[in-house]
Amino acid sequence: MNDPIAKVQQLAELIGPNLYLQAVIIAAIFIFIGKIADWIISGILGRIASRSTNNFDDQFIRLLHRPVFLSFVLLGLALAARRIEMPDTPLFITLGILKTIAIFVWYSTLNSLLNLLIVVFGRSKDSKILETGMQSLLHNVLKIVLVALTVYFIFLAWQIDVTAWLASAGIVGLALSFAAKDTLSNLFAGVSIIMDAPYKTGDFIILDSGERGIVTNIGLRSTRILTRDDIEITVPNGIIGNGKIINEAGGPSEQHRIRVAVGVAYGSDIDHVISTLENVANDNADIVRNPEARVRFRSFGDSSLNFELLGWIARPVDRGRVTHELNCAIYKAFKDNNIEIPFPQRDLHVRTMPQTES
């Protein structure tokens, strides 16, 4: 990079001994180079990008050409300021301002590019970021890193010693880590949850404490769950990370199997009972056909033959409603088919009666 700059300065010296005229020539040359770079990016690369089927490269080109052009302009102004041999203090301030402008230009560009990448990955069907709910976390972390780098380069532009600042930040960070240990515990647990992916946004989960609901958001500090009563529960990630979570939407499919236990009286025709229960399942529109519903004779009870109807539903969230519908349908079907549902009975035998006084 130094050789082209030196050649430009030598070319400017050929104009004459006037330093201000040389500075103007240097600035004009770099503006011209910036225009050429802008034309290459917007024109040639833009036409190549327009032939693709996605819009990402088109938007990337639109984001890139402006900061590249401004970078050449700012570089030309900086070299022009050096060429006119300004005093040290005004030169330092001028170069600091130009560097700061360049830093903010590239910060704005990288921030827009970051937002574009998050949107593109979020829309991708094969994106693990979207499946695990990591999109928001990754976006926030990258923004923090980008801001930190921007501040660091601004310090370098103004020749501020960052060693003392980093040492102070380390001490402050250590103090904050002790003061906010619970928050940090939730933060690291949130990262662990997102990376391990025991559940994702939209899954139906059951907590150790018994709450059931749909995961609506996985954040840095907590996870939000919407229960069947339309009540939103916010659970710290530290609690979830150390507890047992049942994900009813996990596995290769979101289908969920429900079980309905029912007993019939001894002496009942078990083949008739099995066919009746199968008909009840087949008549319910929420029971999927693949895999098909089945009936199992589970055990001999004290006063009943115990059967279990097993059927699959498309979504775990419908379990309560479908179980209710099956219970009602089974009771009506047994009544229509004269299948008796027994209830516990006790026979009391009185051997002696207390004598009454006459």
Per residue in 215-267, pLDDT (tens digit) is 998 877 888 999 888 899 999 888 888 888 888 887 777 788 999 999 999 99
Per residue in 197-221, pLDDT (tens digit) is 788 888 889 988 888 899 998 877 8
Residues 241 and 262 in one domain: no
Percentage of the chain beyond pLDDT 70 is: 84
* Residue where a domain stops, chosen among 157, 181, 214: 157
CATH number, domain with residue 332: 3.30.70.100
pTM of the model: 0.58
How many folded domains does the chain comprise? 3
Domain range for residue 310? Answer: 256-336
Beta strand ranges found along 219-304 (DSSP E): 222-227, 232-236, 246-247, 256-264, 294-300
Residues 148 and 8 in one domain: yes
35, 58 Cβ separation under 8 angstroms:
no
**Closest listed residue to residue 307, CA positions, set 277, 338, 343, 282:** 277
DSSP state of 287: B
Residues 67 and 138 in one domain: yes
pLDDT for residue 131: 47
CATH number, domain with residue 191: 2.30.30.60
| 177-181-186 Cα angle (round to 5) | 120
Residues 214 and 298 in one domain: no
Residues 174 and 89 in one domain: no
Q: What are phi and psi of 201, to 5 degrees?
A: -60, 130
Say which range, 104-108, 176-180, 291-295, has the weakest mean pLDDT: 176-180
